[in-house]
A and B are shown apart, each in its own frame.
Chain A
Amino acid sequence: MVSRITSGAVHGIESFLVCVEVDVSGGLPGLELVGLLSSEVREAKERVRVALKNAGISLPPMRITVSLSPADLRKEGSAFDLPIAAGILESLGILKAGRMKETVIVGELGLDGRVKSVRGILPIVLEARKQGMRECVIPAGNEEEAQLVDGIRIRAVESLQDYIQYTKDGTFPGKKQNREKMLPERGEQKEIYDFAEMGGNARVRRAAEIAAAGFHHMLMLGPPGSGKTMAAKCIPGILPPLTREERLEMLAVYSVAGKWKEDGNGQGRRPFVAPHHTITPQALSGGGSVPRPGAVSLAHRGVLFLDEMTEFKRSTLDLLRQPLEEKKILITRSYGNYTYPADFMLVAAANPCPCGYYPDMKRCSCTENEVKRYMGRISGPVFDRIDLCVETKRLEYSELAGKEKREDSRIIRERVMQARKLQEKRFQGRNIWFNAQMGSGETEQFCALGERERKFVEHIFEALELSARGYQKTLKVARTIADLEASERIREEHLCEALSFRMDMRKDTKH
């Protein structure tokens, strides 16, 4: 008799439903699996057989054939153990067939029958809901993650025995059902890194605020020990909280990456990913024969912090070009194309020269050429995407121990959110959300200047030898600064401030 069970698998960040068919018939006894399977799926055979035995069910000496379809899509992962076992039980007549028609079942089996958690639950549950399924049976370890999806029943099982009992009479032994949904909204929780704890460096704080408000990528330049890393860590704390949609997107990536527990990202904080500069291109973009999300995707909707940016390999940094442009990364492997989202705010930090002290000639021992070459390590296209650049200063003791009252991140975040609201309104109906995303047409439309300001800019343009791109970036940053003050017009002082944050360290080294 043929039984049918529905399960799910992930392909990149997407997932698809898989039909598991099991047939028991006469013939040479054995368990056969077909359907373009990777080796970990084929090994399910042994796990399922032993797990069934330890659950008290020994397989009869008959020929059991399991087919996973669609047969032309490659299936990976260990999530098919439980559906295969369920299928076998149904076709043997131990469980009633047809009861699980509208249920998606996933889970890995241990030899003792325990159900272990798997990667990619969130996308699978989302896909199940989309396909009109009513219920999902998932490993207990993945419950938290699956509960994020509304409108579908979640049944978390701890062992094969649990599953058998649940199918028989709809109860779980010794376990409370449907626990309260754990979705702690991000309210007044304390930031771990707060701008209030950062001494001095008012300029950096200001730059971070502007960057956060307009989603501008930013670069911090300064000597070692000037608080670049600290400032970067504080940035997630001033970004607006994730919306529900954004959270699901971000969590889906973490689910596929199998990083759910490690990062504790169930909290809804924006991710902060800080890869070390020795990172391989694969780890940054996503790698493996079946690629898992890389650092750029793990930073989706959050902050990607590149400390010591000039130390990164050029080829590695160049990978950022696609995500910076398209907000996603496309990885091609022999089994197909995988697309992962990668919409992050790039925060970079670097020393201005190999020794770190340029242009303080008292300390700097680098030649002009070394300084030029050092900055040249970052490729132009990546440089061009960065709107804001700020210097950091080594702190004096008095600043470190200073008692002056400093704003904490919560107050800054309020302002950032105000500015974001304005942008939302401005860009309604367009496919952009932030000032940083404006193209040249939009810049012209939304950064229109008054007569006085236009003259002023014209002047600056010539005197400071701004490039056309530098000019556009300055306008966008000025727009954000004006938004922070809720000013409709861009005024001269906004332009001045934006100018002080401009990026052009390529030509300034000559005397």
Chain B
Amino acid sequence: MEKGTEYACWLHNIPGIGNKTIRKLVEYAGGEEAAYRLSQKEAQNILPPGKLSTFCKWQCEKEPAEVYENLINRKIQFVPWFSKQFPEKLREIPDSPYAVYLRGNGTIQGAGKVAVIGARSCSAYGARMAEFIGKELAEAGVVVVSGLARGIDGIGQRAAIKAGGCTVGVLGNGVDVYYPKENGRLYEECMEQGILLSEYAPGTAPKTWHFPARNRIISGLSDLVIVVEAREKSGTFITVDMALEQGREVVVVPGRFTDDLSRGCNRLIGQGAQIFTSMEEVLQYLPVCIKKQNEKGTDKEEKEENSNIEGREELEEKVYTLCDYYPRSLTEIYEELLRDERYRHIKMTQMLRAVVNLQIQGSIIEKGKNYYYRRN
């Protein structure tokens, strides 16, 4: 433990006192411990009256060692900026956090880190891409960084965990608060193999203004940011802007012109962002590139292709090709089927049978009433 960590922890846990104020205090007092020992009179020069009273109260009530130990007991690690454990990359960014809290079994030292971000309400295509990228990154030994949010963030991280990789969930609340609640499982899984990271003291509830600030850490931690899906106006752009400000490379997954959810991505590409074309290319941006699974990957692809063909009848195959990665309605599929010379006389019931069979095989999935999309 570096000298002053306990005091830094004590300072950082004072409610209502943030990054900038702490820095000012420490600078004025000339060290963390000195800041703790500041008299009310001295502190007055730095703190406005409201904060001063909380500061003094905190001085009376809490002992630094007690605050620090309390965290240790709860298996939460406090890492101030001067610690060796503090992520190097994060220290470089403008408005770098004074300290971060870590919770989980993983480690964030060493390996290359990639942020996978995108829309919360994503399309089936986006979900699939996030899953693919998360898995591939994990298999290449790269740490996936994201916000554990709904949609792309969560899907990417879940895929990474599933593939046995490490992932960092950067939060806009204390590391012991689960938000959104339905991702509780994901939090647990993330702690198993990865790490939860937050600049907010444990117990802090999520607030809207925490999230843009959280985004600067996501991009700050990472070597590279991959944007999977974003609308024209999207919170994702906050992260992208931060990334550019911090000098991180941005790689964007392209989409179709007509897809609303890819409009933001395509605009970024227009502005000069890198296009996501293959995983290999992405990995080249990373400082230490570990390519261990190349042979394995091709193996798998072949296998998948095989499973696609096996056991499907001609009509099923045709219906499958008419399905896409975004949900299409039954009527739409049927009408397109009829346009094909060979299937002009197919009845709806015949096609329904093919659809049911495809569902049983797990090749297509129903989303919404009678809307189907491809699984792989």
Interface residues, chain A, CB within 8 Å of chain B?
Answer: 201-203, 206, 221, 352, 358-369, 389-391, 393, 459-460, 463-464, 492-493, 496-497, 499-500, 505, 508-509, 511
In the bound assembly, the distance between CA atoms of A505 and B127 in angstroms comes to 20
Enumerate the 3 nearest inter-chain pairs by beta-carbon distance, A residue then B residue, closest first: A359-B368, A463-B360, A361-B123
Add 13 more A-B contacts to A361-B121, A362-B258, A497-B348 (CB < 8 A): A203-B370, A221-B368, A221-B369, A361-B261, A365-B121, A367-B120, A368-B150, A393-B332, A460-B356, A496-B353, A497-B349, A497-B352, A505-B369
Least Cβ distance of A86 to chain B in Å? 62
> Contact at A459–B370, with CB atoms within 8 Å?
no
Least Cβ distance of A449 to chain B in Å? 15
Q: CB within 8 A of B369: which of A367, A390, A464, A499?
A: A390
Give the tally of cross-chain contacts (CB within 8 A).
96
**CB interface residues, B 148-188, toward A, < 8 Å:** 150-151, 155, 182
Q: Does B67 contact A (CB under 8 A)?
A: no
- Which chain A residue has the least Cβ–Cβ distance from B263? A362
- B369: chain A residues at CB < 8 Å are 221, 352, 389-391, 505
> Contact at A511–B150, with CB atoms within 8 Å?
no
Q: CB within 8 A of A463: which of B123, B151, B359, B371?
A: B359
> Contact at A391–B155, with CB atoms within 8 Å?
no
- Which chain B residue has the least Cβ–Cβ distance from A485? B349
Say which size band chain B's interface belongs to: 35 or more
Q: CB within 8 A of A203: which of B331, B361, B371?
A: B331
Q: CB within 8 A of A508: which of B326, B355, B368?
A: B368
In the bound assembly, the distance between CA atoms of A363 and B359 in angstroms comes to 26
> Contact at A500–B352, with CB atoms within 8 Å?
yes
In the bound assembly, the distance between CA atoms of A428 and B37 in angstroms comes to 94
In the bound assembly, the distance between CA atoms of A142 and B306 in angstroms comes to 77
> Contact at A366–B121, with CB atoms within 8 Å?
yes
> Contact at B349–A359, with CB atoms within 8 Å?
no
Interface residues, chain B, CB within 8 Å of chain A?
Answer: 120-124, 127, 150-151, 155, 182, 258-261, 326-327, 329-332, 348-350, 352-353, 355-356, 359-362, 366-371
B349, B366, B369: most-surrounded residue (chain A CB, <10 A): B369
> Contact at A203–B367, with CB atoms within 8 Å?
no
- A463: chain B residues at CB < 8 Å are 359-362
> Contact at B329–A500, with CB atoms within 8 Å?
no
> Contact at B124–A496, with CB atoms within 8 Å?
no
> Contact at A368–B121, with CB atoms within 8 Å?
yes
- B120: chain A residues at CB < 8 Å are 367
Least Cβ distance of A50 to chain B in Å? 64
Could you name 12 residue pairs across A and B whose Cβ atoms are closer than 8 Å? A201-B331, A352-B368, A358-B368, A359-B327, A359-B368, A391-B371, A463-B360, A463-B362, A496-B352, A496-B353, A497-B349, A499-B356
In the bound assembly, the distance between CA atoms of A359 and B121 in angstroms comes to 11
Least Cβ distance of B233 to chain A in Å? 11
Least Cβ distance of B222 to chain A in Å? 24
- Which chain A residue has the least Cβ–Cβ distance from B258? A362
- B331: chain A residues at CB < 8 Å are 201-203, 391, 393
- Which chain A residue has the least Cβ–Cβ distance from B327? A359
- B151: chain A residues at CB < 8 Å are 368
> Contact at B360–A464, with CB atoms within 8 Å?
yes
> Contact at A391–B348, with CB atoms within 8 Å?
no
- Which chain B residue has the least Cβ–Cβ distance from A362? B260
In the bound assembly, the distance between CA atoms of A116 and B349 in angstroms comes to 58
- B361: chain A residues at CB < 8 Å are 463
- A201: chain B residues at CB < 8 Å are 331
In the bound assembly, the distance between CA atoms of A362 and B331 in angstroms comes to 18
Least Cβ distance of B354 to chain A in Å? 9
> Contact at A493–B353, with CB atoms within 8 Å?
yes
> Contact at B150–A367, with CB atoms within 8 Å?
yes
Least Cβ distance of B64 to chain A in Å? 42
In the bound assembly, the distance between CA atoms of A509 and B261 in angstroms comes to 18
Least Cβ distance of A49 to chain B in Å? 66
- A359: chain B residues at CB < 8 Å are 327, 367-368, 371
> Contact at B368–A391, with CB atoms within 8 Å?
yes
- A358: chain B residues at CB < 8 Å are 368
- B182: chain A residues at CB < 8 Å are 369
Q: CB within 8 A of B352: which of A362, A460, A493?
A: A493
Q: CB within 8 A of B370: which of A367, A369, A391, A496?
A: A391
Least Cβ distance of A452 to chain B in Å? 13
B120, B182, B352: most-surrounded residue (chain A CB, <10 A): B352
> Contact at B359–A464, with CB atoms within 8 Å?
yes
- B258: chain A residues at CB < 8 Å are 362
- A391: chain B residues at CB < 8 Å are 329-331, 368-371
- A221: chain B residues at CB < 8 Å are 368-369
In the bound assembly, the distance between CA atoms of A391 and B366 in angstroms comes to 12
- B123: chain A residues at CB < 8 Å are 361
> Contact at B360–A460, with CB atoms within 8 Å?
yes
> Contact at B367–A360, with CB atoms within 8 Å?
no
- A368: chain B residues at CB < 8 Å are 121, 150-151
- B326: chain A residues at CB < 8 Å are 361-362
- Which chain A residue has the least Cβ–Cβ distance from B373? A359
In the bound assembly, the distance between CA atoms of A499 and B356 in angstroms comes to 8
- A497: chain B residues at CB < 8 Å are 348-349, 352
> Contact at A493–B349, with CB atoms within 8 Å?
yes
- A363: chain B residues at CB < 8 Å are 260
In the bound assembly, the distance between CA atoms of A233 and B326 in angstroms comes to 33
In the bound assembly, the distance between CA atoms of A459 and B353 in angstroms comes to 13
- B329: chain A residues at CB < 8 Å are 391, 393
> Contact at B349–A362, with CB atoms within 8 Å?
no
- Which chain B residue has the least Cβ–Cβ distance from A493? B349
> Contact at A500–B355, with CB atoms within 8 Å?
yes
Given contacts A363-B260, A390-B369, A390-B370, contact A499 B352 (CB under 8 A): yes
- Which chain B residue has the least Cβ–Cβ distance from A352? B368
Least Cβ distance of B365 to chain A in Å? 8
In the bound assembly, the distance between CA atoms of A493 and B353 in angstroms comes to 6
In the bound assembly, the distance between CA atoms of A451 and B341 in angstroms comes to 35
Least Cβ distance of A46 to chain B in Å? 61
- B348: chain A residues at CB < 8 Å are 202-203, 206, 497
In the bound assembly, the distance between CA atoms of A389 and B260 in angstroms comes to 28
In the bound assembly, the distance between CA atoms of A391 and B371 in angstroms comes to 9
> Contact at A361–B330, with CB atoms within 8 Å?
no
- A460: chain B residues at CB < 8 Å are 356, 360
In the bound assembly, the distance between CA atoms of A120 and B121 in angstroms comes to 56
- Which chain A residue has the least Cβ–Cβ distance from B131? A511
- Which chain B residue has the least Cβ–Cβ distance from A510? B367
> Contact at B349–A203, with CB atoms within 8 Å?
no
- B353: chain A residues at CB < 8 Å are 492-493, 496
> Contact at A360–B327, with CB atoms within 8 Å?
yes
A362, A365, A499, A508: most-surrounded residue (chain B CB, <10 A): A362
- B368: chain A residues at CB < 8 Å are 221, 352, 358-359, 391, 505, 508
- B155: chain A residues at CB < 8 Å are 511
> Contact at B124–A500, with CB atoms within 8 Å?
no
In the bound assembly, the distance between CA atoms of A4 and B182 in angstroms comes to 75
- B352: chain A residues at CB < 8 Å are 493, 496-497, 499-500
- Which chain B residue has the least Cβ–Cβ distance from A357? B368
- A367: chain B residues at CB < 8 Å are 120-121, 150
Least Cβ distance of B363 to chain A in Å? 11
B352, B368, B371: most-surrounded residue (chain A CB, <10 A): B368
